[in-house]
Structure 1
Amino acid sequence: MDFLEKMFRMIALIAALKIIGKVLLDFKAKTELTNSRNKLNYGLASRKDLSSLSNASFITWSLSILVELGFSNLQVMSYKLSDSYQIKASINGSDAYIKFIKLNLKDTPIDEDDYPTVGRPEVQEFLGTMERDNIKIGYVITNGNFSGDASEFAVTMPTGYYLKLIDGCELTRLHRRNQKQYLVANLD
């Protein structure tokens, strides 16, 4: 083989490897997306999966859980494009407000408890909105955690008000429970 022929074969081999690499990367990306969707659809989602969703996808996913829990007449009341949405809904014949706070991870958490936190000010502000609009039932849902102050505040509501805080762990538990009930009902 002369030098030119060896050079041509080397260039062809490099081009073929680049094409194969691109095909494999595309396949990997599609597989990861499919796996992520399947986790969310079949109740295998973790808080890390929830954190990787876009804000709109997180809200859509969470709304499907609320419908399964018996909420109806879901209406978007307000939203910030960044991370917070407020929904008005009906549950057991009563109006309720639901506030979604999607927290974005700065780094991959080291362990399951290393997530951003929603504090008391956000929960207090939400209660103020409930009082202003005379809504007695409220839920604050996040993919992260609630601070101790926020949790303490939620259990000391004024008389006649009910406020439930649902963190990322509880949200995934609710989803898993609903998916299990759905699968059992459809297998019988």
Structure 2
Amino acid sequence: MNASDRFARAALDDAQLDWLAAQPATLGLDGIRLVHGTARSDVEQLLETVEPTGLRAATDAEIAVRLGDDSAMLTLCGHSHLPGVRTLGDGRTAANPGSVGLQAYREDLPFPHVAQTGDPRARYALVRGMQVELRAIAYDHATAATKAEREGRDDWAFALRTGFAPD
């Protein structure tokens, strides 16, 4: 478990953990699939590929494999914190709105890599039918960064202020 997961786990009580455990890994509604990473894994990235050399954009073929035979025309994912929309040749679209509150991080698994937007604004997406519009909005990220510092998370504070992962 990484430092962020340990921090979040420590903040949750048993009732909250039970509620989270009872939630489905994926959710489908009206031709839209909601996943954290991919439908098959919470820790796999849908729109990016992690290699020994770092993070890169996934190819259409890689995204198609990760989507599998899911008939949903739109899959909304998270995990990487990086906003992006990709439409495949078969018409299926995969979109990641990005992160509301953490625009950059470093991770060691499956290989060391950095994900960063270079911009501290919060990210979200508007979905109308099967169309996805990515949005970024300013918020008081300085206050969030100060709270992160109080919690002993200087790495988060830097990312919150800058949109970049610290060296």
Taking structure 1 as the reference length, the TM-score comes to: 0.27
Greater percentage in strand: 2
More RCO (CA 8 Å, sep 6+): 1
Taking structure 2 as the reference length, the TM-score comes to: 0.29
The structure with the larger Rg is 1
